[in-house]
Every structure is written in structure tokens, then in C-alpha cells.
């Protein structure tokens, strides 16, 4: 094939590459490279102007050196010069260099953008393509700012060549991905959708990717793409394999385009129009039918392309989740693949079946494959396939097969790869809890987990078994007996000692009647492990001992003896020493009654989301498992009563840390050496948490005006007391990430009387309803006197907003109905992500945002003392990055950040200029959106 001889052999480059390859050592290579770099540098600096060819050759050498992994700090200017060459290959090398070695030097960027601009307007399709490729490859914000308006014009212009349209479509896609806020939607969007009808399949292929991404963010604007995509897909799947000429790949018609069209359809629910829907169903059936036909070629490319389309079609069927026959057919097809000789297909079938298991139509069909999946777990040689099998077993598990699946997972755990053990442990723990019919099985399973894979049993798992045992009377005796037996093993895992210590400390009395597990024997057994354990476990055991003193007066002497020993009272570890001293004193001075009160059995834990589930989700990211849980939840709510409801509650995006989750069960806190807070102390505890005092509001009147007394305090911080009157205190803790937020609202009953019919809901009025989603989990209907109730709000910012949601609270106190309405401090700035940037970048962007409506300025009098540190803290609390050394005047403050909403991101720059003499400030906000500038300015100017 002579094609290459038409290419541009650069002899010097070939010699250089060959030299590098001949280097015997790393040192020799570096030496050769340094020699070359010196040579190139001198050529570039030399008096003699270099011709285009030489420049190209040297730039290409630099590129090669960079790609070898060495740093390159020069040559950018020469590469930029090449961009304006008339010779195609010189221009091409220039663009390649720029694409690979992007440099943020703003002068260069200006030059590069100029060159691109020239090429875009050259009307030479080859040059235009080069320029578009470069924009797509670099994809920086600067490029988006320069070209986001121009590229859509090229894309939809009537006289644009097909190949340029293709590049423009994907170039725009890249810009939209990096800077969605800079790509203006407009008249072009409707015309882009019609590219799905284009004659040129290459144009359709490129445009479909663009449309998918745009439709994901703006589904309503691209709704019309559904019917066009169905029509196009239908034509492809019914075409004879030769119809599409070069777009047929190993006898499969346009597989890439088919996959993309099926992806696009997954952005939408099933089409409402019956005709379109029917046509789509036909397409999907045809694809499923083709899977049963004999292959047209033995080549793996043929089956891969065909199955790629098939798997995408199955994804669409699962996404629609509305056609039982298609779902069951999909399941059967995947069932065939489970036993296919191609490892790839087995892997994908397991993966895809995982999502099918969550559909109510196909859950049963998936379950029929359980034996095959278990077999895969035992026989697959590739760990990544076995991993998929574990996932699928987890997804298909329900009450009918839980015992079998848990048993299989446990037995697999003994030989499982270390890399996936922890995940299997979590999954077993969750399934055992969720589907436990009798809790003795649950306790056995968890103890087995600890025995088999103790090192991989995280704290969440053993915390959870303790919570469950404490909350369920019927299993406490069994648990005590079982841990007692398990602890007899000569070598047992430390996690077992922890569980055993805790459970015997609470419930050892339930088995003390048996002479084989008398109090003294129990104590001796626990204490025999003491010296082998780490400090946190020893601390836990000491707490178990003091509990023993309360449960079993007859061993008091023995235990006091132990506590009194030097190794305890003078232990080098402060925590252990303190426990020993305090417990010893307590046991000596407290009367039996006091001891019984202080060391009372733990009260039941409040039901809440299982921290194990939260951990698994953290491990898996937003992957399949949580989705399955989510879906499954809808079908299985409360199958298992209270405990299940706690584990099924999976909306959490952010989970509280395990230590708060477990009410101080954490190994470094004395377990219950301090009594659980009694009713009288809870309210004061609440006040302690939010130490800042707040004005006490009036008693809530029946129809309450909306209180916003403390609203502005929360603009620059997230925690504190939001509201307080004589009855009720409302505290807030919140966290925000990107466009999502979570707020913990704490309602403290300050009285000694129970609040009845308590309800708290959040209302977004008028425009806010479309801009902000606030989901409040239902709160308990009663709050005991002195107690505190927590409610979680999940918040999503859809687009920028001004108003604040209102929290409406209602409850009955001593016969009268109380109504309280409080403005909830969810403000636009909460969705800031700080952005660091250099002075140069800052002012460049500042200049770019110079349109009059983009800037809002306010001059105002200082309300507080003008302290620099306080101001800094407020600006950081506001959410932007505080940029030091950017403003030439050091007393000014400059910040930058990006507001994240679901639909868009808005970059934002701010500058605050204090004038201490006049006690005035001038605040300037610049963003790309006038409403955002205005709102942020209003919010922040109120803070000083």
C-alpha cells in the first residue's frame, strides 16, 4: 500500500527516533534527548529564520520527546507559527502539538484562537476540520468562550460540507461537556435534531452523540428526537446487510449508529404515540430475533457488533420497564449468554441481568438462573466475572432464596480474592439482615462472617449486629449463648471479642443460669482475650466488666481486683486508665440502685438507615447496587417490618459518619459508662451543640407569620440555631455539594410535655417550585418532653433562584395547636464550588464578563466592625475561593467560584473593596447571568 509514501517522511525525525530506540539505558536516552533539546533550542534561537519544514520537524521532535514522558517547556511559539502556514502538513503538526501540549499562557491562547478563527472562516473544509479537531481536543473554557457561538452556526449552516458537520457536531459536544453554561441554546437546536434525518450516515452518527448529551440535560427541548430516532433505527434494522454499504460492519448494519440511537431513546420514557411505540417495539423484537438467527460470519467482530446492538436494546427494554414480554425475552436471551463460551458475553450477561433483576416483570425470570450464577461463582477463572456473579446474586436475592444465596456467598468468601472480600462481607450482612425470618439465623450468619473473614468485617457490620440484638428481645438470649460458644475457640478474631464483650455485658445474665456459663466463667472467658486485644477493644471490655458488676454482684470482687491492678490503673493509655479508675470508683461508692440506673440495659436504637448499606454504596459509588436497592425498595417495602424499613431507606446521598450514626458506639468512647441522656438533659445538650445564643421568638400563634430572624446568619455558615421560642428550638446542620444539599433539622422540645401530631413540611412557592427541589423525609408525629427529633431534607438546585423555601411546623402542645413558619436558609450561594485561579486568569475572565447586565455593584455602609479576618471568613463561608495576591490593592478581597445547578453552571467573580475611613464597602459581582449576579450581591452585601 503506497499511501505512506505520500506521507511526509521527516528524515531527521526518523533518525532521532531510531537513535532513542537504540539507547541501551535510561541514562543514554536522557543524554540523547538533552542533546536534541539543546540543538532544537539553538535552532529556534538562531539568527537564521527557519523554513517551515525545519520548524515542523523540530516541533514534531519536541512532541515525540513529550510523548516519551519528558517535560517540554518551549516550542509553543514555533508550533503556533505553524498554524498560519499555508502548507497543510505544517499546519497539521502545529495543531497536533497544540492539542497535546496545551499551555495556559494567555498571549499564546490569543494567537491560537486567532489562527483557529482564520481557519474556521477559510471555507476550506480540510482546514476547518483541523481547527474543529483542535477545539475538540483541547476543549478548554477559553476555547469555549471564543467559539461556543460560532460552532453551532457552522453545524447547521446549509452549505457546510458533511465532513465539517461531523467535526462540528462532536466539537460542540466537547465544549458542552466542559462548559455547558457557555453554549447558548437557540434556534440551532431544532435544526440539530433534524440531522437525525440526514442522508449521510456519518453525519447522523456524529450528531446523535451530540443530541444524546444535550437531551440528557434538556429533555424537553429535544423531545422531537424520539420519533426521528425510532424512524432511523427502524430503517437500519430492517435494511438488508448490503444496503448501507461502508456503514455495514461485518454484516451488521451501522452498529455504532444503532447503539447511539438506542442510547438516545434511553433519555426518554416509552413513546406516548401508539404508532411510534409500536414501531419501536417491532425494532426491538427484530433485534431480539436476529440474536437467534445463525451467524452470518464466524468472525468475532460480527458477533460483537451484533451483540453490542442487542445489549443496548436490552438496556432500553429495561429502561422502559413496561413491556413484560420483551423483558422476559431479554432475560431468556441473557440466560443463553450466561453459558456462552465467550467470557466477554458471560460477563456482560451477568452485568445486564443485574439490572433486569430489579424489574418486577423479570425478577422471577432472573431467579430461575440461580444455579448457573452460583456455578459461575465457583468455576469462573476470571475474578472480574466472579465479581459480576456476586453482584447478580445480591440483586436477585429475595426472601425465597436468601438462605441459599447467603450460604453460597459465605462459602465463596473462604476462597474469594482479597480484593472483593470486604464487599462480599457487606453484601452478606445486608442480605442476612434484610431477609432474616428468624434472627437466630441472622446472628449465626454474622458470627460466621467474622469467623471466616474477620479482617474484612468493618465496624459498620459489627455495630449493626449489636443494634439489632439490642432492639430485638427475642434474639438476645440466643445471641448471648452463641457468642459465648464462639468465644470458646482458641483463636478468635478481635471483632468477635468486641461483639462478644458487648453482648455478654448487656445480656450475659440471660445465660448465667447454666452452670457451664456462670458469671465467673463468662468473665474469665472474656478476660482471657483481654491481653491479646488492641486498645479500643480493651476499652470496650472494661465497659463490659463494669456492666458485669451490675448484673452479677457475685463477681464484683474479682472484677475490682482486675481493675485495681497496676496494668489497668496505671495503664499508659489514657483512655484505659481513665476507665479503670472511674469504673473502680463507681463500683465502690455507688449503691446498688444507682449502679443499676447508671448501668441499665441499653435503650433500643432508633431505626435508621443501615450504616452497612451506606458503606456499600460508598464503596460502589453510584453504581448498580444502589440503583437496585432503590428500585427494589419500591417493591419490597416493609417485607420485614421495622428492621427492614431501616435498611431499605436508601435515598441518602451523603451519609453521616459512622460515629454519629451509632450514638457513640465508636470504639473510643466509653460505651455507656455515662448513662444515656435522660429526658431532662436532652434540651440542654441541644443548646450546647449550638452554643450560639439566639433571640427567643414569640409563642407560635395559630397562623404564624414567616420568621426570618436568623435567616441571614446562615448565608455564610451551615450550622446553628435557626429558630427558638419558649416551646421549641430548631437547629440546623447542612452540607452542600455541587447542586445537591442535605440539611439535618433538629427539633428540640424545650418543655416537659410531649408534642403531639407533630408535622414539619417544606414549601417552595411560585417560581421557586421549578427552581429548587426540597424533599423532606416524614418526621415522627410525637416529640417527648425534653427530647430532640431529627429530620432530613434533601435539596436539589435545578436552576438559579431568589426566594427561600418555607418550613411549616405544626404540633399540639397541651391542647392547643401551634403553627410555626420559618424561612429555610437555602440560598443560591450554597451551591458554590470554589475556583482557584491566577491573577492573570482572573482579570482575563473579569474582562470577558463586562457586559452591563453581567455586573452588579453595590456600595453600602458597614454594619459590623471592619475586621479583615472576619471578612475573609465570611467570603470563604459564602462559598467562593478567596484569591490572595490577585488584586493589586492588598486591602481588597477577590473571590471566584462556580454555582452548580442541575441545568447549568454559572461562573462567578467577586470583588469587595472596603473603605475603613468612610466605613463603607463597595461590592462588585460579575457572572454570566444577570439574575445570579443580582442575587449573590444582595445576599453577600447583607453580611458586612
By CB under 8 A, the residues from 150 to 209 that bind another protein are 163, 166-167, 170-171, 173-174, 177-178, 201-202, 205-206, 209
Phi, psi of 168 (to 5 degrees): -65, -40
Q: Which of 308, 317, 424, 683 binds another protein (CB under 8 A)?
A: 308
Cβ-based nearer residue to another protein, 346 or 823 = 346
Cβ-based nearer residue to another protein, 393 or 539 = 393
Cβ-based nearer residue to another protein, 309 or 497 = 309
Cβ-based nearer residue to another protein, 87 or 635 = 87
Q: Is 418 part of any known ligand binding site? A: no
The grid coordinates of residue 409 equal: 456467598
- Residues 866-885 binding another protein (CB under 8 A) are none
Q: Is 59 part of any known ligand binding site? A: yes
Q: Which range in 60-68, 567-575, 588-596, 754-762 contacts another protein by CB under 8 A?
A: 60-68
- 71 exposure class (CB count in 10 Å sphere: 0-12, 13-18, 19+): exposed
Contacts of 509 (CB under 8 A, 6+ apart): 551, 552
Q: What's the rounded Cα separation, in Å, for the pair 594 and 586? A: 9
Q: Does 333 bind another protein (CB under 8 A)?
A: no
Q: Which of 43, 44, 64, 769 binds another protein (CB under 8 A)?
A: 64
Q: What's the rounded Cα separation, in Å, for the pair 334 and 318? A: 12
Cβ-based nearer residue to another protein, 10 or 410 = 10
Contacts of 500 (CB under 8 A, 6+ apart): 483, 484, 486, 487, 526
Contacts of 772 (CB under 8 A, 6+ apart): 764, 795, 796, 797, 798, 801, 805, 826
Q: Which helix (H) or strand (E) holds 842?
A: helix 839-848
Q: Is 60 part of any known ligand binding site? A: yes
- Residues 673-702 binding another protein (CB under 8 A) are none
Q: Which helix (H) or strand (E) holds 772?
A: strand 772-776
The minimum distance between CB 570 and another protein, in angstroms, equals 48
Rama region for 552: left / alpha / beta (φ>0; ψ in -120 to 50; rest): beta
Q: Which of 232, 263, 547, 935 binds another protein (CB under 8 A)?
A: 263
Evaluate whether 780 touches 739 at the Cβ level (below 8 Å): no
User: In a 3-state reduction of DSSP, which class is residue 573?
Assistant: coil
The minimum distance between CB 5 and another protein, in angstroms, equals 5
Q: Does 139 bind another protein (CB under 8 A)?
A: yes
Q: Which of 37, 40, 62, 63 binds another protein (CB under 8 A)?
A: 63
Q: Does 87 bind another protein (CB under 8 A)?
A: yes
Q: Which range in 89-97, 228-236, 509-517, 719-727 contacts another protein by CB under 8 A?
A: 89-97
For residue 626, the Cα-to-chain-centroid distance in whole angstroms is 11
- Residues 35-54 binding another protein (CB under 8 A) are 53
Cβ-based nearer residue to another protein, 355 or 522 = 355
Q: What's the rounded Cα separation, in Å, for the pair 376 and 387? A: 10
- Residues 365-394 binding another protein (CB under 8 A) are 381-382, 384-385, 387
Q: Does 591 bind another protein (CB under 8 A)?
A: no
The minimum distance between CB 173 and another protein, in angstroms, equals 5
The minimum distance between CB 136 and another protein, in angstroms, equals 5
Tell me which DSSP letter residue 863 carries.
S
The minimum distance between CB 137 and another protein, in angstroms, equals 7
Q: Does 5 bind another protein (CB under 8 A)?
A: yes
The minimum distance between CB 653 and another protein, in angstroms, equals 15
The minimum distance between CB 375 and another protein, in angstroms, equals 17
The grid coordinates of residue 552 equal: 452479677
Strand 706-707 to strand 816-823: parallel, antiparallel, or no bridges (unpaired)? parallel
Q: Does 136 bind another protein (CB under 8 A)?
A: yes
Q: Which range in 2-10, 268-276, 356-364, 685-693 contacts another protein by CB under 8 A?
A: 2-10
The minimum distance between CB 345 and another protein, in angstroms, equals 9
Cβ-based nearer residue to another protein, 11 or 516 = 11
Size of the site for another protein (CB under 8 A): 83
Listed residue (365, 269, 363) closest to 316, CA to CA: 269
Cβ-based nearer residue to another protein, 386 or 529 = 386
* Angle, vertex CA 135, rays to CA 133 and CA 141, nearest 5: 160
Q: Does 654 bind another protein (CB under 8 A)?
A: no
Q: 3-class secondary structure for 132-168?
A: HHHHHHHCCHHHHHHHCCHHHHHHHCCCCCHHHHHHH
The minimum distance between CB 25 and another protein, in angstroms, equals 15
Evaluate whether 941 touches 860 at the Cβ level (below 8 Å): yes
Contacts of 258 (CB under 8 A, 6+ apart): 233, 236, 237, 309, 312
Evaluate whether 380 touches 389 at the Cβ level (below 8 Å): yes
Cβ-based nearer residue to another protein, 627 or 780 = 627
- Residues 622-641 binding another protein (CB under 8 A) are 622-623
Q: What's the rounded Cα separation, in Å, for the pair 599 and 576? A: 18
Q: Does 336 bind another protein (CB under 8 A)?
A: no
Cβ-based nearer residue to another protein, 179 or 646 = 179
- Residues 778-807 binding another protein (CB under 8 A) are none
Q: Is 117 part of any known ligand binding site? A: no
Q: Which of 80, 109, 305, 881 binds another protein (CB under 8 A)?
A: 305
Q: What's the rounded Cα separation, in Å, for the pair 226 and 437? A: 47
- Residues 95-124 binding another protein (CB under 8 A) are 96
Annotated binding site: 11-12, 43, 53, 57-61
Amino acid at each position: 500500500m503506497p499511501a505512506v509514501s505520500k506521507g511526509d517522511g521527516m528524515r531527521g525525525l526518523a533518525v532521532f527516533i531510531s537513535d532513542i530506540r537504540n539507547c541501551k539505558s535510561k541514562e543514554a536516552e536522557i543524554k540523547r534527548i538533552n542533546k536534541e533539546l539543546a540543538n532544537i533550542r539553538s535552532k529556534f534561537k538562531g539568527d537564521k529564520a527557519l523554513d517551515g519544514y525545519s520548524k515542523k520537524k523540530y516541533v514534531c521532535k519536541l512532541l515525540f520527546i513529550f510523548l516519551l514522558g519528558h517535560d517540554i517547556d518551549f516550542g509553543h511559539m514555533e508550533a503556533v507559527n505553524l498554524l498560519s502556514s499555508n502548507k497543510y502538513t505544517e499546519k497539521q503538526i502545529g495543531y497536533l502539538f497544540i492539542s497535546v501540549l496545551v499551555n495556559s499562557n494567555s498571549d499564546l491562547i490569543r494567537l491560537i484562537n486567532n489562527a483557529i478563527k482564520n481557519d474556521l472562516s477559510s471555507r476550506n473544509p480540510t482546514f476547518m476540520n483541523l481547527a474543529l479537531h483542535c477545539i475538540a481536543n483541547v476543549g478548554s473554557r477559553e476555547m469555549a468562550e471564543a467559539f461556543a457561538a460560532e460552532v453551532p452556526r457552522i453545524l447547521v449552516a446549509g452549505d457546510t460540507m458533511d465532513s465539517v458537520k461531523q467535526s462540528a457536531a462532536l466539537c460542540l459536544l466537547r465544549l458542552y461537556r466542559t462548559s455547558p453554561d457557555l453554549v447558548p441554546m437557540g434556534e440551532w437546536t431544532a435544526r440539530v435534531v433534524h440531522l437525525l434525518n440526514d442522508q449521510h450516515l456519518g453525519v447522523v452518527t456524529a450528531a446523535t452523540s451530540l443530541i444524546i448529551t444535550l437531551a440528557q440535560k434538556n429533555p424537553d427541548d429535544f423531545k422531537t428526537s424520539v420519533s426521528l430516532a425510532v424512524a432511523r433505527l427502524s430503517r437500519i434494522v430492517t435494511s438488508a446487510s448490503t444496503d448501507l454499504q461502508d456503514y455495514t460492519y461485518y454484516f451488521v448494519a451501522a452498529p455504532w449508529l444503532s447503539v447511539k440511537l438506542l442510547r438516545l431513546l434511553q433519555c426518554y420514557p416509552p413513546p406516548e404515540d401508539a404508532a411510534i411505540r409500536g414501531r419501536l417495539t417491532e425494532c426491538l423484537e427484530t433485534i431480539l430475533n436476529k440474536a437467534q438467527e445463525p451467524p452470518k460470519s464466524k468472525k468475532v467482530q460480527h458477533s460483537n457488533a451484533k451483540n453490542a446492538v442487542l445489549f443496548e436494546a436490552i438496556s432500553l427494554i429495561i429502561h422502559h420497564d413496561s413491556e413484560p414480554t420483551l423483558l422476559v425475552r431479554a432475560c431468556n436471551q441473557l440466560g443463553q449468554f450466561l453459558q456462552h463460551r465467550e467470557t466477554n458475553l458471560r460477563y456482560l450477561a451477568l452485568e445486564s441481568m443485574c439490572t433486569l433483576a430489579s424489574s418486577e416483570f423479570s425478577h422471577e425470570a432472573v431467579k430461575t438462573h440461580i444455579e448457573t450464577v452460583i456455578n459461575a461463582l465457583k468455576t469462573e477463572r476470571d475474578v472480574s466475572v466472579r465479581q459480576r456473579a456476586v453482584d447478580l446474586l445480591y440483586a436477585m436475592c429475595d426472601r425465597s432464596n436468601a438462605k441459599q444465596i447467603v450460604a453460597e456467598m459465605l462459602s465463596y468468601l473462604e476462597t474469594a480474592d482479597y480484593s472483593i472480600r470486604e464487599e462480599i462481607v457487606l453484601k452478606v450482612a445486608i442480605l442476612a439482615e434484610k431477609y432474616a425470618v428468624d434472627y437466630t439465623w441472622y446472628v449465626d450468619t454474622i458470627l460466621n462472617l467474622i469467623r471466616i473473614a474477620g479482617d474484612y468485617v468493618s465496624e459498620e457490620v459489627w455495630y449493626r449486629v449489636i443494634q439489632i440484638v439490642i432492639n430485638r428481645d427475642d434474639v438476645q438470649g440466643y445471641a448471648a449463648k452463641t457468642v459465648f460458644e464462639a468465644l470458646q475457640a482458641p483463636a478468635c478474631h478481635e471483632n468477635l471479642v468486641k461483639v462478644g464483650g458487648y453482648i455478654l455485658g448487656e445480656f450475659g445474665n440471660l445465660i448465667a443460669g447454666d452452670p457451664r456459663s456462670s458469671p465467673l466463667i463468662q468473665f474469665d472467658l472474656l478476660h482471657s482475650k483481654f491481653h491479646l486485644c488492641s486498645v479500643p477493644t480493651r476499652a470496650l471490655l472494661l465497659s463490659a466488666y463494669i456492666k458485669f458488676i451490675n448484673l452479677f454482684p457475685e463477681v464484683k470482687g474479682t472484677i475490682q481486683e482486675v481493675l485495681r491492678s497496676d496494668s489497668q490503673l496505671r495503664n499508659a493509655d489514657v483512655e484505659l486508665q481513665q476507665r479503670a479508675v472511674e469504673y473502680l470508683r463507681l463500683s465502690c461508692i455507688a449503691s446498688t440502685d444507682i449502679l443499676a440506673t447508671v448501668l441499665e440495659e441499653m435503650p433500643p436504637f432508633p431505626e435508621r438507615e443501615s450504616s452497612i448499606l451506606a458503606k456499600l454504596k460508598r464503596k460502589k459509588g453510584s453504581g448498580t447496587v444502589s440503583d437496585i436497592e432503590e428500585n427494589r425498595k419500591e417493591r419490597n417495602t416493609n417485607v420485614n417490618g421495622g428492621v427492614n424499613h431501616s435498611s431499605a431507606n436508601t435515598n441518602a446521598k451523603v451519609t453521616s459518619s459512622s460515629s454519629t450514626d451509632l450514638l457513640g458506639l465508636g470504639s473510643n468512647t466509653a460505651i455507656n459508662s455515662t448513662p444515656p441522656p435522660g429526658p431532662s438533659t436532652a434540651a440542654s445538650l441541644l443548646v450546647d451543640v449550638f452554643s450560639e445564643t439566639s433571640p427567643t421568638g414569640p409563642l407560635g400563634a395559630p397562623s404564624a407569620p414567616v420568621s426570618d430572624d436568623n435567616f441571614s446568619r446562615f448565608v455564610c455558615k451551615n450550622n446553628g440555631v435557626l429558630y427558638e421560642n419558649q416551646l421549641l428550638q430548631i437547629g440546623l446542620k447542612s452540607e452542600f455539594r455541587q447542586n445537591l444539599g442535605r440539611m439535618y433539622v433538629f427539633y428540640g422540645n424545650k418543655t416537659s410535655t410531649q408534642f403531639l401530631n407533630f408535622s414539619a413540611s417544606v414549601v417552595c412557592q411560585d417560581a421557586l417550585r421549578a427552581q429548587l427541589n426540597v424533599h423532606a423525609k416524614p418526621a415522627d408525629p410525637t416529640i417527648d418532653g425534653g427530647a430532640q427529633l431529627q429530620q432530613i431534607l434533601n435539596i436539589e438546585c435545578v436552576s438559579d433562584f431568589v426566594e427561600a423555601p418555607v418550613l411549616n411546623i405544626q404540633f399540639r402542645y397541651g391542647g392547643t395547636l401551634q403553627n410555626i413558619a420559618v424561612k429555610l436558609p437555602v440560598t443560591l450561594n450554597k451551591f458554590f464550588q470554589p475556583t482557584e485561579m491566577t491573577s492573570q486568569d482572573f482579570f482575563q475572565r473579569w474582562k470577558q464578563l463586562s457586559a452591563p447586565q453581567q455586573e452588579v455593584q453595590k456600595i453600602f455602609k458597614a454594619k459590623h466592625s471592619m475586621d479583615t479576618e472576619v471578612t475573609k471568613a465570611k467570603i470563604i463561608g459564602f462559598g467562593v475561593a478567596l484569591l490572595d495576591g490577585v488584586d493589586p490593592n492588598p486591602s481588597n478581597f477577590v473571590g471566584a467560584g462556580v454555582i452548580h445547578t442541575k441545568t447549568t453552571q454559572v461562573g462567578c467573580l467577586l470583588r469587595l473593596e472596603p473603605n475603613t475611613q468612610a466605613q463603607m464597602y463597595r461590592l462588585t459581582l460579575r457572572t454570566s447571568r444577570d439574575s445570579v449576579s443580582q442575587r449573590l450581591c444582595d445576599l453577600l452585601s447583607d453580611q458586612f
